[in-house]
Amino acid sequence: MIGTGYVGLVTGTCFADSGNDVVCVDIDQKKVERLKQGDIPIYEPGLSEMVTRNVAHGRLKFTTQVAECVPGANCVFLAVGTPQGEDGSADLKYLFAAADSIAPHLSTQTVVVIKSTVPVGTNRKVANRLKELLGRDVDVASNPEFLKEGCAIDDFTKPDRVVVGSDRPEPADLLQELYKPFLRTEKPYLAMGLESAEMTKYVANCLLATKISFINEMANLCERVGADINDVRRGIGHDQRIGFAFLFPGVGYGGSCFPKDVRALFSVAREKGMKLNMLEAVDNVNNQQKNVLFSKISEHFGGKLKGKKIAVWGLAFKPKTDDIREAPALVLIDQLLAEGAQVHVNDPVAIENVEAIYGTKLTYHDHHYDAATGADCLAIVTEWNEYRTPDFDYLKLKMKSPTIFDGRNLYNPVKMTKAGFNYSGIGLLVPKS
Ligand SMILES: NC(=O)c1ccc[n+]([C@@H]2O[C@H](COP(=O)([O-])OP(=O)(O)OC[C@H]3O[C@@H](n4cnc5c(N)ncnc54)[C@H](O)[C@@H]3O)[C@@H](O)[C@H]2O)c1
What's the CATH number where 91 sits?
Answer: 3.40.50.720
How many whole angstroms from 11 Cα to the centroid of ligand 1? 11
Which pLDDT score, from 0 to 100, does residue 148 have? 95
The atom of ligand 1 lying closest to the CA of 97 is 31
Ligand 1: does its nearest atom lie under 6 Å from the Cβ of 27? yes
In this structure, the residue with its CA closest to atom 31 of ligand 1 is: 98
Verify that 181 and 53 share a domain, yes or no: yes
* Domain end marker among 272, 288, 304: 288
With beta carbons less than 8 A apart as the criterion, state whether 114 and 140 touch.
Answer: yes
Q: Does residue 394 sit within a domain?
A: yes
The dihedral built from the CA positions of residue 320, 321, 322 and 327, taken in this order, carries a sign that is negative
With beta carbons less than 8 A apart as the criterion, state whether 427 and 219 touch.
Answer: yes
In this structure, the residue with its CA closest to atom 30 of ligand 1 is: 98
Q: Does residue 212 sit within a domain?
A: yes
State how far the Cα of 170 lies from the Cα of 166, in Å rounded to an integer.
9
Q: Does residue 430 sit within a domain?
A: no
The dihedral built from the CA positions of residue 398, 400, 401 and 403, taken in this order, carries a sign that is negative
* Domain end marker among 192, 222, 238: 192
Ligand 1: does its nearest atom lie under 6 Å from the Cβ of 28? yes
Residue ranges in the chain modelled with pLDDT below 70: none
The dihedral built from the CA positions of residue 242, 247, 249 and 254, taken in this order, carries a sign that is negative
Verify that 208 and 116 share a domain, yes or no: no
In this structure, the residue with its CA closest to atom 12 of ligand 1 is: 81
Cβ within 8 Å of residue 220, ≥6 positions away: 289, 292, 426, 427
Q: Does residue 75 sit within a domain?
A: yes
Q: Does residue 341 sit within a domain?
A: yes
Which pLDDT score, from 0 to 100, does residue 6 have? 96
State how far the Cα of 75 lies from the Cα of 78, in Å rounded to an integer.
10
Question: How many other β-carbons are positioned within 10 Å of the β-carbon of residue 409?
Answer: 21
How many whole angstroms from 216 Cα to the centroid of ligand 1? 29
Long-range contacts of 203-209 (CB under 8 A, 24+ apart): 204/146, 205/117, 205/257, 205/258, 205/261, 205/262, 206/261, 206/262, 206/265, 206/279, 206/282, 208/246, 208/258, 209/253, 209/258, 209/259, 209/261, 209/262, 209/279, 209/282, 209/283, 209/286
Ligand 1: does its nearest atom lie under 6 Å from the Cβ of 145? yes
Q: Does residue 433 sit within a domain?
A: no
The atom of ligand 1 lying closest to the CA of 6 is 16
CA triplet 29, 30, 33: central angle to 5 degrees?
Answer: 85
**Among candidate residues 352, 318, 355, the one with its CA nearest the CA of residue 333:** 355
Ligand 1: does its nearest atom lie under 6 Å from the Cβ of 117? yes
With beta carbons less than 8 A apart as the criterion, state whether 347 and 319 touch.
Answer: no
* Domain end marker among 192, 227, 254: 192
Ligand 1: does its nearest atom lie under 6 Å from the Cβ of 256? yes
**Among candidate residues 404, 390, 369, the one with its CA nearest the CA of residue 297:** 404
Q: Does residue 197 sit within a domain?
A: no
Active-site residues, by number, are: 257
Verify that 311 and 301 share a domain, yes or no: yes
Ligand 1: does its nearest atom lie under 6 Å from the Cβ of 159? no
How many whole angstroms from 152 Cα to the centroid of ligand 1? 14
Verify that 266 and 298 share a domain, yes or no: no
The atom of ligand 1 lying closest to the CA of 80 is 24
Q: Does residue 431 sit within a domain?
A: no
Rg of the Cα atoms in the chain: 23
Backbone angles phi, psi at 47, to 5 degrees: -70, -40
Ligand 1: does its nearest atom lie under 6 Å from the Cβ of 198? no
**Among candidate residues 117, 156, 120, 94, the one with its CA nearest the CA of residue 258:** 117
How many whole angstroms from 284 Cα to the centroid of ligand 1? 26
Verify that 19 and 109 share a domain, yes or no: yes
The atom of ligand 1 lying closest to the CA of 257 is 43
Structural domains counted in the chain:
3
How many whole angstroms from 7 Cα to the centroid of ligand 1? 6
How many whole angstroms from 346 Cα to the centroid of ligand 1? 27
Verify that 228 and 99 share a domain, yes or no: no
Which pLDDT score, from 0 to 100, does residue 206 have? 98
Which pLDDT score, from 0 to 100, does residue 66 have? 97
Verify that 367 and 415 share a domain, yes or no: yes
In this structure, the residue with its CA closest to atom 43 of ligand 1 is: 117
State how far the Cα of 85 lies from the Cα of 92, in Å rounded to an integer.
8
Sheet holding 75-78, edge to edge: 75-78, 111-114, 139-142, 162-165, 189-192
The atom of ligand 1 lying closest to the CA of 94 is 28
How many whole angstroms from 9 Cα to the centroid of ligand 1? 9
Q: What is the CATH number of the domain that holds 246?
A: 1.10.1040.10
Verify that 135 and 210 share a domain, yes or no: no
Residue numbers of the domain that contains 284: 202-288
**Among candidate residues 51, 43, 62, the one with its CA nearest the CA of residue 17:** 51
